């Protein structure tokens, strides 16, 4: 089968023929239909410091996917050949305290598909049955291939009650934009999203009508005055990984405000702890998705009018994967999908 492989400890990826993986007795084999490119895949492509410390080439990358089950292990009862599925890219141990308590997203032994083991950018993927979920009919398959990052957005946005609340989202990457759409869908009052990239801020306005601020040339304080947000935001979703954005968020919260942090911060992020203390802010870190509560809520929202299909701005045949990574590196995109159906 064809797979997109990190072949060497250097920048770039290669399309290679590799053996189709074996299906273990509790696994399913999925014929991949579509995959989406994640920021993590871009890090691995670009071979940044994190990738150099984490990735062990040669390895098939990718973890955002949708496809069709073509084989099930002898102990698999719940899934059958022909089911259209997506899946959770975090494989958990099943025996640690959190796993036993049903809090699988907090497993300390998590293994990442396409990060710590072979991934989904391939014609076939084999994963444990406990990692797959059936895609409800009616949701376009291309969108199902982005359930993993949509799940990040759902997990973060549902962390705090936001009905009638003013929400600040820092970072209009694909996850920030999807989170803005969710906030609007579930009844937030004002949703303001910031970035330094006009393409993405335009996309945020187009997809969900969020208020946008390009912090490179516009003032968040002006936007707050315009919207009569007088004392600060009630809820903050940090989705940029940018230290200045995080600090600015802490500066613009209402006393007692709540912040969910998804963006992975660099070593230069300075956290103004005393503002957090004196203003009684709550901070919650978010990793991955709640398995599978986030997935159920995600599909329920898509079935009740959450419109985010336009987040997919580019689609390429998998053989043209390099074009997908180039457009990701340009930042002039939402989600970029690779098509494995032909
Ligand atoms: P992304 O890199 O596509 O988007 C981040 C956006 O932040 C970009 O559009 C960038 O222009 C913007 N940005 C840069 N500087 C800014 C500033 N000063 N103010 C406002 N915005 C600024 O990332 P994504 O795929 O949308 O993911 C969002 C974040 O979440 C990333 O930091 C990513 O590493 C992280 N992430 C975390 C998890 C998790 O489980 N915790 C999972 C996925 C992604
Ligand atoms: Zn565990």
Whether 43 is in a domain gets the answer yes
For the CA of 101, the nearest ligand: 2
Give me the domain span that covers residue 272: 153-285
Number of domains present in the structure of the chain: 2
Residues 139 and 253 in one domain: no
Q: How confident is the prediction for the chain on average, in pLDDT?
A: 98
Q: What does the pLDDT read at residue 116? A: 98
Residues 169 and 103 in one domain: no
Q: What does the pLDDT read at residue 60? A: 98
Q: Tell me: the pLDDT tens digits for 8-39?
A: 999 999 999 999 999 999 999 999 999 999 99
Ligand 1 atom with the smallest distance to the CA of 262 is 41
Q: Tell me: the pLDDT tens digits for 200-232?
A: 999 999 999 999 999 999 999 999 999 999 999
Q: Tell me: the pLDDT tens digits for 298-329?
A: 999 999 999 999 999 999 999 999 999 999 99
Q: Report the pLDDT averaged over residues 115-119.
A: 98
Residues 186 and 135 in one domain: no
User: Residue ranges for the binding site for Zn(2+)?
Assistant: 38, 63-64, 93, 96, 99, 107
Whether 297 is in a domain gets the answer no
For residue 6, how far is its CA from the centre of ligand 1 (angstroms)?
A: 23
For the CA of 204, the nearest ligand: 1
Residues 85 and 184 in one domain: no
Ligand 1 atom with the smallest distance to the CA of 39 is 25
| CB of residue 174 inside a 6 A radius of ligand 1 | yes
Instruction: Give nearest CA residue, ligand 1 atom 18.
Output: 245
Strand pairing report for 90-91 and 111-112: antiparallel
Instruction: Give nearest CA residue, ligand 1 atom 15.
Output: 242
Q: Tell me: the pLDDT tens digits for 38-79?
A: 999 999 999 999 999 999 999 999 999 999 999 999 999 999
Residues 271 and 202 in one domain: yes
CATH, residue 264: 3.40.50.720
Q: What does the pLDDT read at residue 273? A: 96
ipTM of the complex: 0.99
For residue 95, how far is its CA from the centre of ligand 2 (angstroms)?
A: 5
Q: What does the pLDDT read at residue 324? A: 98
Residues 112 and 225 in one domain: no
Q: What confidence category does residue 144 fall into, taking pLDDT thresholds of 50, 70 and 90? A: very high
Q: What confidence category does residue 146 fall into, taking pLDDT thresholds of 50, 70 and 90? A: very high
Pocket perturbation via mutation, ligand 1, pick of 263, 288, 308 by most ligand atoms within 8 A of CB: 263
For residue 131, how far is its CA from the centre of ligand 2 (angstroms)?
A: 13
Query: In this structure, what token pair is assigned to residue 281?
Result: 């802010």
Q: Report the pLDDT averaged over residues 283-311.
A: 97
Residues 170 and 193 in one domain: yes
Q: What does the pLDDT read at residue 139? A: 96
Whether 245 is in a domain gets the answer yes
Q: What confidence category does residue 83 fall into, taking pLDDT thresholds of 50, 70 and 90? A: very high
Pocket perturbation via mutation, ligand 1, pick of 88, 213, 239 by most ligand atoms within 8 A of CB: 239
| CB of residue 196 inside a 6 A radius of ligand 1 | yes
Question: Per the residue annotation, which of 23, 33, 35, 40 is the catalytic one?
Answer: 40
313 noted as active-site residue: no
Residues 38 and 118 in one domain: yes
Residues 6 and 118 in one domain: yes
For the CA of 40, the nearest ligand: 1
43 noted as active-site residue: yes
Residues 183 and 262 in one domain: yes
| CB of residue 249 inside a 6 A radius of ligand 1 | no
Q: What does the pLDDT read at residue 42? A: 98
| CB of residue 192 inside a 6 A radius of ligand 1 | no
Closest to 299 in 3D by CA, of 66, 31, 130: 66
For residue 175, how far is its CA from the centre of ligand 2 (angstroms)?
A: 26
């Amino acid at each position: 089968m064809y797979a997109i492989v990190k072949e060497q400890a250097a920048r770039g990826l290669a399309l290679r023929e590799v053996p189709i993986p074996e299906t273990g007795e509790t696994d399913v084999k999925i014929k991949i239909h579509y995959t989406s490119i994640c920021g993590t895949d871009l890090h691995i492509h670009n071979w940044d410091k994190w990738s150099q410390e984490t990735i062990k080439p040669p390895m098939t990358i990718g973890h955002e996917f949708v496809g069709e089950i073509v084989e099930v292990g002898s102990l698999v009862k719940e899934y059958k050949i022909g089911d259209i599925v997506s899946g959770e890219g975090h494989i958990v141990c099943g025996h640690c305290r959190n796993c036993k308590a049903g809090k699988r997203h907090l497993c300390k032994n998590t293994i990442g598909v396409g990060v710590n083991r072979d991934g989904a950018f391939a014609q076939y993927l084999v994963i444990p049955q406990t990692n797959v979920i059936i895609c409800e009919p009616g949701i376009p398959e291309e969108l199902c291939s982005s359930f993993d990052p949509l799940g990040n957005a759902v997990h973060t946005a549902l962390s705090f009650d936001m009905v009638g609340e003013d929400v600040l989202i820092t970072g209009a990457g694909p996850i920030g934009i999807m989170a803005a759409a969710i906030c609007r869908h579930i009844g937030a009052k004002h949703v303001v999203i910031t970035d330094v990239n006009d393409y993405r801020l335009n996309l945020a306005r187009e997809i969900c009508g969020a208020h946008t601020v390009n912090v490179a040339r516009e003032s968040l304080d002006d936007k707050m005055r315009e919207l009569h947000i007088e004392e600060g935001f009630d809820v903050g979703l940090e989705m940029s990984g940018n230290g200045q954005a995080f600090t600015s968020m802490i500066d613009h919260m209402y006393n007692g405000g709540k912040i969910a942090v998804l963006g992975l911060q660099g070593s230069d992020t300075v956290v103004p702890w005393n503002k957090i203390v004196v203003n009684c802010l709550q901070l919650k870190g978010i990793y991955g998705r709640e398995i599978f509560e986030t997935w159920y809520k995600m599909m329920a929202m898509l079935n009740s009018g959450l419109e985010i299909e336009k987040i997919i701005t580019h689609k390429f045949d998998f053989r043209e994967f390099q074009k997908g990574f180039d457009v990701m590196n340009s930042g002039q995109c939402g989600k970029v999908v690779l098509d494995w159906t032909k």
